Structure 1
C-alpha cells in the first residue's frame, strides 16, 4: 500500500516541477500572502521535523560508529553547518555572476557552469526528499501526509522563484533535472535501503541547504511579508503535527 501512495506523491512532485508555469493562480493570488503562508509552513517543518530528525541521526552515529554522544552531536550539526555554508557560497556566486552580467549589458544571466552546479545542488536535495518518502525516521500515515504537504509547498515556492529568476534555463533544462532527481530518489528508496549512517551523513549535510532555502526563498522580504498568513502557516502545520502525534 505504501509504494502506490508514495509513487502518487512523487508524481505530484514531478508535476509541480514540470508545470509550475501553468499554475496561473500563483500569479493571481497576492504573492506576499501565499509566500508568507508557505514560509510559516516551512519554518514549522524545520523546527518540528528537520531538527528532531537530526537528533535521531545523531543517535545512529553514536550507536553505529561507536562515538560518544557529544562527538556524534558535534559531527551531525557540523555537517549541517557545512551544508548551509556550501549552499550559501553557491548562491553568492550565482548572484555575483548575474550582477557582473548585468553590468556588462548582457542581461540577467550567469555562467553555464554555475547553472549546472545550481541545478545539481537542488537535484541532490530532491534525491533525498524522494528517498525519504519511503525511509523517514518517523513512520505513520499522518507523518507522511505532513511531510508530503510541506515538501509540495516548498517545491511550489522554490520553483516559482527559480522560474522567475532563470526562466529560460529553468524551462529548458532545470525543471527536467530536478524532476528526474526526485523520481530517482523514490525509485532508489523502493529498490534498496541505504545504510542509516550513510543517510545520516547525507541528510545532515543537505539539512543545511534546506534551512538556507527556507530562509532565502520562503521567508519574504521585509516589504513583502504578511504576519497573519505566516502565523497561520506555522500554527496550522504545528497543530496538524501535534494532532498526528496524538492519533499515532
Structure 2
C-alpha cells in the first residue's frame, strides 16, 4: 500500500512537471528552428531511443494481450494487432501534419482556424493518454517512471516548438493551455479509473506510432539543418541509461 501511495505522489510530481513544460516552453529562447537547436536534436534522439528500447519491445506484451482478446470476428486473421495499431497512430499523425501544411498554403483564415482546433484536439488526446499512462503504466521501479518522464518531457518541448511554429499566437492563447489541462485530466482519470488491459494495449500502441512520427518529422527535413551528432548523443546516452537501469 505504501509503495502505491509513493508512486501516486511521484506520478503527480511528474504530471506537474509536464504541465510546467507546456506553460514555460515559449520562454525557452535558446531553441531555434534553423539551424536546428542542438537541444531539439538531443531531445529527438532521447525520444527515439525511448520508443525503440522501451515502447516497441513493450508492444510484445501488449500483442499477447490483444491476441487473447481478439480471437474471433474481423480481426481474427490479423496476427500483429499491436503493430498495426502503432502503424495507424503514425499514419493518423502524418495525416494531421499534411492537413496543417496544406491549410497554411491556402492562406484561408477560417480554414486555418478549423485545422488548428482539429490539430489541438488530437494532441489533447495524445497528452491525456500520456498523463493516464504516467500513473497506470506498470513500471519495474520508480526509476522506470522517471525515465518515462524524462523522455516525454523533452518530447513535449519539441512538440510545443512545432505547434507554436505552425499556429503562432493562437497556440499560445489557447493551445498550450488545453495541452496543459489534458495532462492533468489524463492523470486524474488514471487515479480514479483503471481501463482493461486490452484498451491500455491499444492506446499504448497508438501512442508509440504517434511518437515515432512526431520525432522523425522534426528531425528529417533537410532545411532544418539538424545536428546528427546531437541526435546521436541523445539517443546513445538515453539508451545506455535505460539498459543500465
TM-score normalised by length of structure 2: 0.88
Q: Distance in 2 between matches of 1:201 and 1:220?
A: 27
How far 1:71 moved relative to its partner?
5.1
How far 1:64 moved relative to its partner?
3.7
Q: Distance in 2 between matches of 1:113 and 1:97?
A: 9
How far 1:205 moved relative to its partner?
2.4
Match of 1:100?
Answer: 106
Write the mapping of 1:173-192 to structure 2, written as runs, cut at 5 A. Answer: 173-192=174-193
Write the mapping of 1:71-86 to structure 2, written as runs, cut at 5 A. Answer: 73-86=79-92
Q: Structure 1 residues 195 and 57 mapped into 2: Cα distance closer, same or farther (>3 Å)?
A: same
Unaligned regions of 5+ residues in structure 2, if any? 1-5
How far 1:165 moved relative to its partner?
2.5
Selected match of 2:20 from 3, 15, 20: 15
Match of 2:124?
Answer: 123
Match of 1:54?
Answer: 59
Unaligned regions of 5+ residues in structure 1, if any? none
Q: Structure 1 residues 72 and 9 mapped into 2: Cα distance closer, same or farther (>3 Å)?
A: farther
**CA RMSD in angstroms, aligned pairs only:** 2.3
Render the CA deviation track for 1:35-67: whole Å, top value 9, x for unaligned.
Answer: 221111111011011211221110111234447
Q: Distance in 2 between matches of 1:196 and 1:134?
A: 14
Write the mapping of 1:119-158 to structure 2, written as runs, cut at 5 A. Answer: 119-158=120-159
Match of 1:226?
Answer: 227
TM-score normalised by length of structure 1: 0.87
**Residue-pair matches, total:** 236
How far 1:99 moved relative to its partner?
0.6
How far 1:221 moved relative to its partner?
3.2
Match of 2:3?
Answer: none
Structure 1 stretches of 4+ moved >6 Å: none
